[in-house]
Amino acid sequence: MWHASVHRQGQGPIVYTNNLMTAALRALHGVGDPQLGEWHEHAPGSRTFHVKRRVLDSELANELRDLRGTDEGRARAAIVRSLNPARVHHMIGDW
């Protein structure tokens, strides 16, 4: 399952659902197949939009692994943390 979430941070102008949806769909451009199944989640008034899409057979890995609690998981979390503002680093776990 491919999954993209887009969140509008901060206060300010009204968040338009179409803008969030467009950004989430752009993040999944070129992966999966919406014809096989795609789900959109957005609660009224929410500033977050989620898109989930089925993975193509050709995109499946030979081996699926849970990286939480491993050195590789911690290394990946560090990369994600480095791409975000320092004020949110505490929200990103150590996987």
pLDDT in tens, 27-81: 899 999 999 999 999 888 778 889 999 989 888 877 777 778 889 888 887 887 7
pLDDT at position 8: 78
Q: Is the pLDDT of residue 13 over 70?
A: no
Higher pLDDT: 26 or 45? It is 26
Q: Which of 46, 44, 50, 2 is nearest to 24 (CA)?
A: 50
Going from the C-alpha of 58 to that of each of 17, 30, 32, 63, the distances in angstroms are: 32, 13, 9, 13
pLDDT at position 89: 74
Task: Write the secondary structure of 32-93 as one string of H (helix), E (strand) and C (coil).
Answer: CCHHHCEEEECCCCCCEEEEEECCCHHHCCCCCCCCCCCHHHHHHHHHHHHCCCHHHHHHCC
Higher pLDDT: 31 or 8? It is 31
pLDDT at position 14: 58
